[in-house]
Amino acid sequence: MLSSFSELLGDTITSYLLCFLVFVIFCCFLLTSSKDSKYSFPPGPRPLPLIGNLNILDMKLPKKTLIQVSCMCYEPSKRKNPRAVEMNSSFVTIVLKELSEKYGNMYTFHMGPEKYLILCGYKAVKEALVKRADEFGERGETVWHNEVTRGNGILFGKGESWKAMRRFTISTLKNFGMGRVSLEEKIVEECRKMMEVFESYKGQAFSPDSILKFSTSNIISVIVLGRQFDYKDSDLHRLQKHLDEYRRFLGSPQLQLYNMFPFLGFLLSDLKRAAENVNDFRKYFNIAYYDHKDKVDKNDLRSFTDAFLLKQQMEDTYFNERNFEVVAVNLYAAGIETIAITLAWGLLLMMRYPDIQAKVQQEIENVIGNERCPQYEDKKNMPYTNAVLHEIQRFGDVVPLNLLHQTSWDTTFQGYKIPKGTKVIPLLSSVLFDKTQWATPFEFNPAHFLEADGKFVKKDAFMPFSAGRRACLGETLAMMELYLYFTLLMQKFKFHPPPGVAVDQLDLSPSPGLTSGPQPFQLCAEIH
């Protein structure tokens, strides 16, 4: 009798909870509908209650849903452009967005109960980020990044703090050699150190992933901390492990779920690990902060950290310990990930297309020779190498979804009235593969950046660093690093697949994550 009563009571409580949940969802729907009544959003797929459009979203590779994906194979005999290279059949290429084909270059996508504005193609993205930069220039807020950064730093900073940090970081990077010979020498020195590791394999197959990350981390470490790591340093390995784990987390279903329904956080195992990674990064830079604090000499600033501490002594409004930790993590993460991943794409693509690799090496031999070290100044005399490097960045599509934006105030865009705070995803993939801007968007084709007479030409639709107010502030540094690393490697080594692996068997499909790198691969580096 008592047992039956308990079961009945439990069922009654469960029923009440379910009814209450339904009531809350219904109220949220009414409030949202009332709020949106004075606004108009572009059409999009019909959302389901509570989950929105998550039923059609591939959470491991969201760009597969937001962009139509198909495998395209080109036979050499069918190429319209004889200078273009056929696509590897194993690579899932990005074509026009499946949803944009139905709804246009702007549509609404529901992440749970929240509306997101998706911008597709060069014209829509440029109009929002460049021509109307103030309206679409705010960084999109998420539950996770608000908790982690609290409005500090550069990548996810907000308001006057973000403006102050961005201005200071740009000027400091310039002062410490961004685009100058002094930094160029450090990059060459570090690349040569990495090449010694490549050479130590004596032509045998190895994975370049870790060494590329270790080497590029030393460039940003010199700038931020004024120190270089030995490649066997335990701190370097620990930080890189945290960075790899955190990159995967930022592209994971668990993060998406947490941002939509934060009350589910206690169920998400990856969330705790991500928080530990962030805390370890902060602790590392916090130790550096206090280690430098009592040693700052205004007449001998050795690093970004020293410059920050000196600025703090003069103006401490935003120049505090918390902001330093977040900015340092931003610089470290951005300065390693995009460079190392782009170089990895470059090595993989040079193996896949040995004829292009040979043309690059021939131009290097003609302009620089085999004895002299490449200089950044040489780039203007090397149109083909420059075109290949730009095409690697376009084709590699390292940051496919861009970082989230949101509207700064109520605005009307392409005839729709969009409310303040609307999340906006300006899809960089849709720009880098826009068939209205590129002759053969789904082929790796250096001719995209060459005029008929062979001169280099940069295209407006080349946006791997995004555009507008939130464009990557380290673009100049990144382009210098990429050019010097790439030409030094091509000057000394010939890269080819491991024995038994044909070039058309190389996997060009991207790995999931916030940044999109190649799948793990091995290569052989023989002295050229």
Nearby residues of 188 by Cβ (< 8 Å), 6 or more positions away: 373, 374, 484, 488
What is the percent of the chain with per-residue pLDDT over 90, rounded to a whole number?
55
Q: How far is CA 134 from the centre of its chain?
A: 22
Q: What is the CATH number of domain 29-527?
A: 1.10.630.10
For the chain, what is the radius of gyration of the CA atoms? 25
Distance CA(348)–CA(370), nearest Å, equals 23
250's tokens: 């930022």
What is the pTM for the complete model shown?
Answer: 0.86
Distance CA(442)–CA(433), nearest Å, equals 7
Please give the pLDDT value at position 16. Answer: 47
- Please give the C-alpha separations between residue 389 and each of 280, 347, 383, 504, in angstroms, as whole numbers: 35, 11, 10, 21
> Which residues in the chain land under pLDDT 70?
1-37, 57-98, 177-181
Q: Is 115 helix (H, G, I), strand (E, B) or coil?
A: strand
- The DSSP secondary-structure symbol of 331 reads H
Please give the pLDDT value at position 528. Answer: 79
Burial of 444-482, coded b for 16+ CB within 10 Å and e otherwise, reads bbbbbbbeeeeebeeeebbbbbbbbbbebbbebbbbbbb
Please give the pLDDT value at position 61. Answer: 52
Number of neighbours of residue 415 by Cβ within 10 angstroms: 8
User: H helices then E strands: how many in the chain?
Assistant: 18, 11
Distance CA(79)–CA(443), nearest Å, equals 10
Please give the pLDDT value at position 518. Answer: 94
Distance CA(298)–CA(276), nearest Å, equals 35
Please give the pLDDT value at position 180. Answer: 53
Q: How far is CA 420 from the centre of its chain?
A: 26
Please give the pLDDT value at position 96. Answer: 32
Please give the pLDDT value at position 80. Answer: 38
Please give the pLDDT value at position 498. Answer: 96
- Which residues does residue 109 pair with via DSSP β-bridges, in sequence order? 116
For Cα atoms 193, 509, 83, give the angle at the middle one, nearest 5 degrees.
85
What ranges do the domains of the chain cover? 29-527
Please give the pLDDT value at position 283. Answer: 92
- The DSSP secondary-structure symbol of 52 reads B
Please give the pLDDT value at position 178. Answer: 55
Torsion (CA) 254, 255, 258, 259 in degrees, nearest 10: -150
